[in-house]
Amino acid sequence: MISWQRYIRDSFEKRLELLKNKKVKAGVWGLTDEHTIPVYNLEKNTLVKRQVVASDVFSLFEWADHMLSVSNNGAASVVWREALLMAAFGEKYPELSQEETDAYFKETPRKELTDLSNDVVNLPLRDLDITSDEWRLGSFFTKGANTYVGDKGGSIGTPFGLMKFLIQLEQGNVIDEDSSLEMKRLMYMTDRRIRYAQSPLLKDAAVYFKSGSLYKCDRSKGEECGKYMGNVTNFMNSVIIVEHPDNCKYMVVLMTNVLRKNSASDHMYLAGNINRMIRKQ
């Protein structure tokens, strides 16, 4: 008998079915992130943008979209939690109830949960020949998750590791060609083009991108410091696949640490310069 994991792995249709039909609740895992998510009411034909609340229930596909399109950390924690549960319960996962989920996290030793959650997100990267020094994830994105799961190994992401991932994605090697293409599609459906992707020279191009930031302030220095304007660290990162209508295609992974200013415009101008340079080739 073929295992459930093998069955899901070998059937893209089954993967889509699970992503569309499996609905899960946020709980404390999805709380505290300031990024809003779009909530559409079909009956009232209204759209509201708000933060995730514990009672929110969305399909796996919707949680993945909230994670990528609006950079919601709570949604990212929920997606990671479900990957952990999928690994733990195997063929029982599609029918897993909220009560069974709650009992699992309550009764399973913290170390066991920490080890499994770490393996779930890191071992697939090793299968793609991305080393732990190039890219690893050691902690969840929200405090609620730390109620159940600890940190392990620290986190690091390098431009080289992310570029290796993009190449594997473009080659169809992340799980398989169908899943790679679906991940790429999700990267296209961002809420709006910001930072690097906002360059006017990319207006007519298809852009598949994700942008993120991490800043830290030391206000004792008496310097101007705030959101996206850290004076200790002020990382801004972008990964992007550009596809122009004339078949000019390229990929860029960028990490900057411009202190004391929002470097979004720097990324935008750099995108234009890189695009011009590649066009000249």
List, for residues 52-69, the tens digit of each pLDDT value: 999 999 999 999 999 999
Instruction: Give the pLDDT confidence of 90-133 residue by residue, as tens digits.
Output: 889 999 999 999 999 999 999 999 999 999 999 999 999 999 99
| Contact (Cβ atoms closer than 8 angstroms) between residue 84 and residue 152 | no
Nearest to 113 by CA among 91, 88, 92: 88
- The pTM (predicted TM-score) of the whole model is 0.90
β partners of residue 136:
156
Q: What is the band of 190 on the pLDDT scale with cuts at 50, 70, 90?
A: confident
pLDDT at 10: 73
Nearest to 25 by CA among 129, 115, 101: 101
Nearest to 276 by CA among 241, 250, 258: 250
pLDDT at 41: 86
pLDDT at 2: 43
Average pLDDT for 28-42: 89
Average pLDDT for 203-207: 95
Q: Where are the domains of the chain?
A: 4-164, 192-280
